[in-house]
Structure 1
Amino acid sequence: MTQAQNNIVVKKRYLFYISQNYSFEILRPIQQQILSRGDECAWFVEGSDVNLTFFRHNEQRLKSIEEAIAFNPHAVFVPGNIVPDFIPGVKVQVFHGLEWKKKGHFSIRGFFDLYCTHGPITTSRFNQMAKVARHFLVKETGWPKLDPLFQIAPYSLQTEKPVVLFAPTFSPNLTCAPILFEEIKRLVATDEHFWLVKFHPKMNPDWIAKYHTIQADNYRVVDTDSCLPLLKRAHVLLSDTSSIIGEFLLLNKPAITFNNAAPGEYLINIQSVNQLNNAINQALNNNTQLIQQITQANAQLHPFTDGLSAQRVLAATDQLIAHRPATLKRKPLNLLRKFKIRKKLNYWKL
C-alpha cells in the first residue's frame, strides 16, 4: 500500500431521520459540526407533516427509503420515537423536547443504541433503565437545539409593550389552549401586552384556526421552524406541560404554567383562568427568589450553557461507532413495531 493510500481519510456519513418540523433546529447544530469537519450528512423525511420549504438549498434530502438505505450511514440521529432497524448505522436518540414530565419520555421502545440525555434529572433515570435493559448506552451531552440559544438574535418585533409568548402543548389531556382562549382574547383587548402565539406542529388544527380569529395590533400567531428567537424576545412564557418551558427557563426568565403535570417552585403555576392576569403581573415584577429557583432547576434539567452539545453528541456517537462494548446485548426483536414501520414506509425487502 502506498503512502498516499495510507493518508486517505474516509468520510463518515450521518443521516437525520425526521417526521416533524421541530427537527430542523434540533439537528442543524449537529449538521454544522459534521460539515465543518468535512464529513457528510443527509436528511430523510418520514410522512407528510414536515414543511419541505424549510429545507435550505445546501441541505441534502433523500427522497425515498431506498435512498436512505443506500446512503449507508454510520449513524442515524432521531428526535422522534422510532427509526427503521433496516437503515444501517447506530441509532441515536436526541429527543424532541426537554419535558421529562410527559408520558412516554422514558419509554424504551427498543430501537436505539445510544440515548443522548440533557441533564441529571433525565440521565439518572435512563442510566437505571440501561442497567436493566443492557442493549443501549446513555451519555449526558445536553441538547443540540439549545447550542445557539444564547447567541441567536431575538425575534424582530417593534413594540414597547411587555411580550407574552403563549406556547401550549398539543396533548389533549395537557393542553391549555381551549380553556384559555376567551381569557387570552380578553387580555389582548386590554392592549397592555404584546402576545406572540406559537403552536406545536401536532396541535389540533381547529384550535389553531380558532386562535387565528383573534385580530389585533398587539397579537401575532407565528409559524416558524425555530422557536429560539421567540424565546429571546419574550419577557414571559405562558404554557402548560410543554418542553418549551425548560428552554425558556434557561434564559432565567419566568414561565407561567396552567395545571402543570408536576409544578415546582421555579414555575408560576395557576389552576384557574381567573388567575392568569395576576400571574402575568407577578412574572413581570422582578422576583429574585423566583430567579434563584429557576437557576437551581436549570442545573438539573440542562446544565450546559457552552453551546457545545452538538459536539458532545457527535463525540459519543463516534465513540460507539468505533467501539461497541461487548457487554451490550442485542436489541429486542420488536416484531410488531418493525412491521408497522415497514407498512408505513411500504418497504418489505429483507
Structure 2
Amino acid sequence: MTDSANSKPRSAPRGLYPDIEPFDSGHMATEGKHRIYYEQSGNPAGLPVVVLHGGPGGGTSPNLRCYFNPDGYRIIMLDQRGCGKSTPHASQDISLDDNTTWHLVADIERLREKLGIDKWVVFGGSWGSTLSLAYALKHTDRVSALILRGIFLVRKSELDWFYQAGASHLFPDIWQKFIAPIPADERGDMLNAYVRRLNGADRALATRCALAWSGWEGDTLSIEGPSEAASKFSDPEFALAFARIESWYFKNGGFFETDNWVLENIRTLKDVPAWIVQGRYDVVTPMTTAWELHQAWPEAKFNLVKKAGHSSSDQGILEGLVAAADEALVALGT
C-alpha cells in the first residue's frame, strides 16, 4: 500500500498500512506444558493493541499487523494455545484438556503483565471477537477499547447454522465436500461426528476430516466465494490443529457458563469505547448475533457493511477495521 502512516484518520477508501516486521518476539511460559508465541511491532512507545486471531486455532498472520498505524500503535500479537508458533502444536499433540477459553484469557493477561502494559486496545474478529469479549468481561479495567469484527458467541444456534443446517442452503456444493467424510447415518450430528474422527487414532482419517472441516470454512469466508479462500486451509498441518481446536471449543460451547453468557454480562462494558464491524452477508458468523450484541450494547459504534461477508479482507470490512483503529488512536493516543 502507498498510504503514508500518520496519526490522523485518512480519507476513505482506506487500505492496509505497509508491511512491517516485529521489533521483538519470543515464547512465554504458562502454568503447564504450553509456551505461547508472541511478537511486538510498530512503535514501542505507541498505544498498545493486542490482536486476537480467529478459529480458535487459526494462528496469527503478518497481515494482521497492517490494520494499525505503525507510527501510533504498539502492536502485540500472540498465537493461542496449540496453533501457529506456540507449542505444543495441536497437529501433533491431540490432548486439549488445558486448552479452554479461560486458559486463553489467563494467557492474554499474563502477557500484558509480562510486557508491562497497564491497558490496551483489544482487537479481534470471528472467534477473536468472542475471546476479546471474554477477556474484557473478566479484565474490564485493563481494556482501553475494543475493536470487533464478525461477531461470534459460540451459541448453539450459531453452531447449528454453520455445521448442521443453514449455511448449507447457501453453499450446497461446498457443503457436499464437508459432509463427504461422514457416513450418512451420522450426519444428524456433524459436530460430534467430526470430533470423534479428528481425535481418533487413525491419522489419515483425521487429516482427511481436518481438510474437509477447514475447507468448508475457508470456502465460505468471502462474499467473493471459494476462489478467495486462503491457501492455508488446504495445508494438512494447519488444518489438523485448526479443526481439532475449533471442534473441541465448539463441542464445549466455548466453555461459557450459559449459552448466552456474553450477552447476559455485556452491560459490564457499557463504558468501554468499542467499534463493531459486521458484514451483512457474513455466512460464517451471521449478522443475527452482531445485531443482538448491538441491541444489548448500543454504546458501541456499529458499522454494518452492506456488501461484505465474513473475511477481514473483504474490502468494506478491511476499510471499517482500519477506520476504527484510526479513530481509536485519535481518541486514546497521546
TM-score (structure 1 length as normaliser): 0.33
Q: Which is greater in Rg?
A: 1
Q: Give the number of the structure whose residues are more often helix, by fraction.
A: 2
